[in-house]
Amino acid sequence: VGTAPLWIFVLGQYFYRDHKVIPIYNFEIWLASTFFAYTAGLVINRFKPAVADGLLTWIIKPLMLLASILYITLGVYINMYVFDRINEYAVLSAFLLPLSGFTVAYITGKIFRQKDSFCKSMALETSSLNVLIVLAAIRFSLESNKNSADFASVVPLWVMFTIPGIYVLLAILRFFKGCIGNFLESRKQQQFRHFSIASGIVNQANMAALSAPLFVTEVTDDDQGSVSEKITVL
């Protein structure tokens, strides 16, 4: 809701140059519906976790699966125009939008000294954009001009492709990071083992070099007049 004026100044100025009245109400109503939907979900999860799990399992997940199937099949066929109107700047913006959200959220969490797991969760939530709501808001805000609505929907549609790509890239980086960490740890343990063996050999050599020979001295016991042996080790 708060970023709607930013949308007007960044994107809306290209579609409403000759209009004195901008239909901000259509855009605001969709953003407000998103805000209230998220708020309702948080409240239900806070006070009724069992109800939230039931809604997530039996309603939200099936609907999301159906929406994904429709988007992959029918959605791609209907929105084939996005592949004709795309250029390098649109791809770059579609890639940088979720990536900047991920980076800013993670750095903000570190600045406020949050746990690493919390920073990662916040970064993933910030980079995951609800593009379907954005598409609906654009369609209703630019319903008077279909060509403008199609043109404005290019970047949100490409963002839907780049978000999973960023997650796959992060998973690959995490995999290589784990492999490098395991390699360095095994190498460190191997070097420590060689050092332990070498230090043991050196210590045994030092012990053999520092041990003094035994020598025997004869002393006489005045009371019994016998000779006894006294062994001294240095």
Q: Which two tokens stand for residue 226?
A: 């016998």
Q: Determine which of 108-122, 171-185, 206-220 has the lowest per-residue pLDDT on average.
A: 206-220
Hey, what are 131's tokens?
Answer: 């593009």
* Rounded percentage of the chain residues whose pLDDT exceeds 90: 4
pLDDT digits (tens, 9 = 90+) for 193-216: 655 555 555 555 454 444 444 444
Residues with Cβ within 8 Å of 166's Cβ and at least 6 positions away in sequence, in order, are 95, 98, 99, 102, 127
Cβ distance 88 to 154 under 8 Å? no
Does residue 154 or residue 21 have the better pLDDT?
A: 154
Contacts for 138 with CB less than 8 Å, ≥ 6 apart: 27, 149, 152, 153, 156
Single-letter amino acid, residue 103 = T
* pLDDT at residue 231 greater than cutoff 70: no
What's residue 163's pLDDT? Answer: 83
pLDDT digits (tens, 9 = 90+) for 87-99: 788 788 888 888 8
Residue ranges per domain, the chain? 93-129+161-234
Per-residue pLDDT band at 111 (split at 50, 70, 90) = very high
